[in-house]
Amino acid sequence: MNRDQGSVDFQPEAASVPRTAEVVVIGGGVNGASTAFQLAKRGVRNVVLLERRQLGAGATGKSGALVRAHYANTWESHLTLESLRIFRAWEDEVGPGSPGFEPIGFVQVVAPEDEAHLRANVAAQQAIGIETSVVSVTELREIEPLMRTDDLSYAAFEPSSGFADPNATLYGFAAAAAARGVTICTETEATAIRVEGDRVAGVETSAGRIATRTVVLAAGSWADRLLLPLGLDFGLTPVRTQVSIFRWPPSVDPRRRHRVVIDATQHSWFRPEGAVSTLIGAERSVAGIDPDGLREGLDHESIAVGRAALAARFPAFAAATMRGGWAGTFMRSPDGHPIIDQTPSVSGLFCMAGDSGTSFKTAPAIGVCLAEWIVDGAPRLVDLTPFRSTRFAEGRPWIDEHAYGDDRTLTVSR
C-alpha cells in the first residue's frame, strides 16, 4: 500500500449541516473519525461528524503518533493491542489510504530503580498477548546501537511496534466514514449540547441546530465548553506542549532508522521523522492554556531541552542541527488517564475526553468500543470500566501501581 497520505482520495467538502441525525460526533480528530467510521460500518445511518475548523486541527494533527503497547496498566495496553490489529490490517479493516504505520520497534527506557515496575508491566502485557520482553543492556546495544546504556540495567522492547502518520490515519478513517454515508461538516462549530429532561435532544452548531438523541463528544481541548454548561465538570485541563526536529548528524547511518524510544529517565520520547531526522518531545507541559490562543510555534528555550534529552540517550546527537518544531494542545484529566464513558446523568451522551495526549494509538479500538456501546448497548472489545467518568466523584482516581514516576507531567501526544 502507498503510505503517502496524499494517496487518500478524500477532500472534505463544505457539507450542509443536516437538521436531524441518528448520532452526532463532535470533533474531527482521529477518535471522532474512528468512531464515526465504526458506527457507519455497523449500519448506523445518518451519522454527522462536526469539526470546528479542519480535520486534524487539534491534537491529532500535531501528534507524535507513537504506536506502542507499553503502559503501566493493562487496560490502555489492551486498547493498543486491538488497535495494532487495525493498523496492521488497514486495507481489510478500514479501506482507504494507509496509516503509514512503521513497525521499526519500540524501546521503553527506565531507571535501574524502576526495574521491578518494568518487569511487572511487561509480564502483565505478555499475559494479554503483547509481543514484548525485558532486555538487558547488552541486548539493548544490539537492538539500538546509537543508545547510551551505561546508566541503565534493563529496558522493555516491542519489536513490532513503532509509529504512524497521524494525518494519514485520520484522513483514512474520514474517507472510509464518508464512503459509508457519514456527513462530515468542517468549519462547523458545535456550540451547545441540548438536553430535554435527562436525555440528549440536539446539538447547536454555528450553522443551525441538529436534532439527535445520541452525541459522541471527542472535542479534545474544547470539550469543557460543551460539558460545563451541562453541569459536568471532570476536572479537565487544556495543556500546551512542544516537539522539535533534529537533523541526523553525519555519524548517524542514514540507511538505518533508529527505534522509537520513550525515556523515563529524561522525560522524553523520540522517533524518526522523514528520511534523516528525529522528532522529540521533551519539555514539561504548561497547563491551563486557552486552546483558541495557542501559540503553535516552538519556544526558543525548548530547543536546548530537546537536544539535551536526545543527546543524553543518543550521544551522537549532541551537535545535531535543529530543523523545526511546533506546539500543540491536549486535554488532561486529573489522573492523567482518558475518560471514555456514557455519562450517567445525561442519557445519550458519550465522551472521549482528557486523554492527556496518549490516545492516537488507541483510537482505532476506541472507535470500535464506542460504536459497540451505541449500537449493541455495551462495549465488547475492551472493558472500559476503568475509564468511567465517575471515578473522580467516587474518590477513586486511576493510579497505576507500577508507574515510572509522575507520568502526567511528561510531554505527551505520544
pLDDT (0 to 100) of residue 12? 58
Q: Measured between alpha carbons, how far is 268 from 64 in angstroms, rounded to an integer? A: 12
Do residues 224 and 205 make contact, with C-beta atoms less than 8 angstroms apart? Answer: no
- 238 backbone dihedrals φ, ψ, rounded to 5°: -75, 140
Query: How many residues are present in the chain?
Result: 414
pLDDT (0 to 100) of residue 306? 95
pLDDT tens sequence across 322-349: 999 999 999 999 999 999 999 999 999 9
Strand 215-217 versus strand 23-26 pairing type: parallel
b/e burial code for range 232-254 (CB count within 10 A of at least 16 → b)? bebebbbbbbbbbbbbbeeebee
285 contacts: CB under 8 Å, gap ≥ 6: 239, 240, 241, 332, 409, 410, 411, 412
pLDDT (0 to 100) of residue 285? 83
Classify domain 102-162+237-332 by CATH number. 3.30.9.10
CATH superfamily of 8-63+167-235+335-409: FAD/NAD(P)-binding domain (3.50.50.60)
313: Cα separation from own chain's centroid: 24
pLDDT in tens, the chain (414 residues): 333 444 455 665 556 899 999 999 999 999 999 999 999 999 999 999 999 999 999 999 999 999 999 999 999 999 999 999 999 999 999 999 999 999 999 999 999 999 999 999 999 999 999 999 999 999 999 999 999 999 999 999 999 999 999 999 999 999 999 999 999 999 999 999 999 999 999 999 999 999 999 999 999 999 999 999 999 999 999 999 999 999 999 999 999 999 999 999 999 999 999 999 999 999 778 999 999 999 999 998 999 999 999 999 999 999 999 999 999 999 999 999 999 999 999 999 999 999 999 999 999 999 999 999 999 999 999 999 999 999 999 999 999 999 997 554 443 345
Q: Which residues make up the CATH 3.30.9.10 domain(s) of the chain? A: 102-162+237-332
Q: Measured between alpha carbons, how far is 56 from 171 in angstroms, rounded to an integer? A: 9
Residue identified by cell 459522541 is: 216
**Nine-digit cell string for 116:** 521491578
103: Cα separation from own chain's centroid: 17
Q: Which residues make up the CATH 3.50.50.60 domain(s) of the chain? A: 8-63+167-235+335-409
Helix (H) or strand (E) holding 50: strand 47-50
Q: What angle do CA 17, 19, 23 make, to 5 degrees?
A: 85
**Nine-digit cell string for 86:** 487495525
- Phi-psi region for residue 267, left (φ > 0), alpha (ψ -120 to 50) or beta? left
**pTM to 2 decimal places:** 0.95
Beta bridge partners of 183: 48
Helix (H) or strand (E) holding 227: helix 224-227
Secondary structure of residue 217 in the 3-state scheme? strand
pLDDT tens sequence across 233-278: 999 999 999 999 999 999 999 999 999 999 999 999 999 999 999 9
pLDDT (0 to 100) of residue 268? 95
pLDDT tens sequence across 40-79: 999 999 999 999 999 999 999 999 999 999 999 999 999 9
